[in-house]
């Protein structure tokens, strides 16, 4: 299948999953993850109108940045504090904020380039040792601390669920994420707008929706 055919297929599945759960297609963002993918293939995607792209490495965003126009980059992978300076002016959103130290550096660097960064709080939903993110019960506190930083806007939550060949097994994690998302949203904290719940991967996005 071509990339265009693949995306059409994914769109059908997104629409079906949305309808099944009483949601609207336009409330779901299809973020094309382009790590390890070369520029010509990425252009096939952006030319179809999918211009929100996810990368998990700072270096890879930097090397692709000048090669592509009209793209909104999302950093979805772990971010080291000493690398924030390289992407503060390049990415639309950082999905992987899991400490106040990292948030403070993001706020500082964004202040220097005169912008505000949209961020998500990363949660280690299954308590996996090899994964980044804060435990579920620490996320609200961290979100509130991050919201006090001047050049940050808290826009939601992110998690990378455990890999499971049967994605239905991850529903319990998606439910817990959603519960917390709704709970924080209902409290209407200053500078916390719960709008994004970033969780889906290629093998589980239908269950996630």
Binding site for ligand PLP (CB under 6 A): 33, 35, 56, 76-77, 160, 201-202
Smallest gap from Cβ 141 to ligand PLP, in A, equals: 23
Smallest gap from Cβ 45 to ligand PLP, in A, equals: 13
Are 145 and 196 in contact, with CB atoms under 8 Å apart? no
Question: Which is closer to ligand PLP, CB of 103 or CB of 133?
Answer: 133
Residue with nearest beta carbon to ligand PLP: 202
Smallest gap from Cβ 188 to ligand PLP, in A, equals: 29
The β-bridge relationship of strands 192-198 and 52-55 is unpaired
Question: Which is closer to ligand PLP, CB of 103 or CB of 167?
Answer: 167
Burial of 156 (0-12, 13-18, 19+ CB in 10 A): buried
Are 138 and 118 in contact, with CB atoms under 8 Å apart? no
Question: Which is closer to ligand PLP, CB of 112 or CB of 169?
Answer: 169
Smallest gap from Cβ 60 to ligand PLP, in A, equals: 11
Q: Rounding to the nearest 10 degrees, give the CA dihedral for residues 3, 21, 56, 90.
A: 90
Tokens of 81: 């504090």
Tokens of 156: 């939601």
Question: Which is closer to ligand PLP, CB of 132 or CB of 185?
Answer: 132
């Amino acid at each position: 299948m071509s990339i265009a055919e693949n995306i059409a297929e994914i769109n059908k599945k997104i629409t079906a999953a949305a309808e099944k759960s009483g949601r609207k297609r336009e409330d779901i963002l299809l973020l094309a993850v382009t790590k390890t993918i070369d520029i010509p293939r990425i252009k096939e995607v952006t030319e179809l109108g999918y211009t929100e792209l996810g990368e998990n490495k700072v270096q890879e965003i930097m090397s692709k940045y000048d090669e592509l126009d009209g793209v909104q980059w999302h950093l979805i992978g772990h971010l080291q504090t000493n690398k924030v300076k390289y992407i503060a002016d390049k990415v639309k959103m950082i999905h992987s904020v899991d400490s106040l130290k990292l948030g403070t550096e993001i706020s500082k660097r964004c202040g220097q380039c005169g912008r505000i960064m949209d961020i998500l709080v990363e949660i280690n939903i299954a308590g996996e040792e090899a994964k980044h993110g804060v435990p579920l019960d620490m996320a609200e506190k961290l979100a509130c601390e991050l919201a006090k930083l001047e050049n940050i806007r808290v826009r939601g939550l992110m998690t990378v669920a455990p890999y499971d060949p049967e994605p239905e097994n991850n529903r319990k994690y998606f439910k817990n994420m959603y519960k917390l998302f709704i709970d924080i949203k209902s409290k209407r904290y200053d500078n916390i707008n719960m709008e994004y719940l970033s969780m889906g991967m290629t093998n589980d996005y239908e269950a996630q929706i």
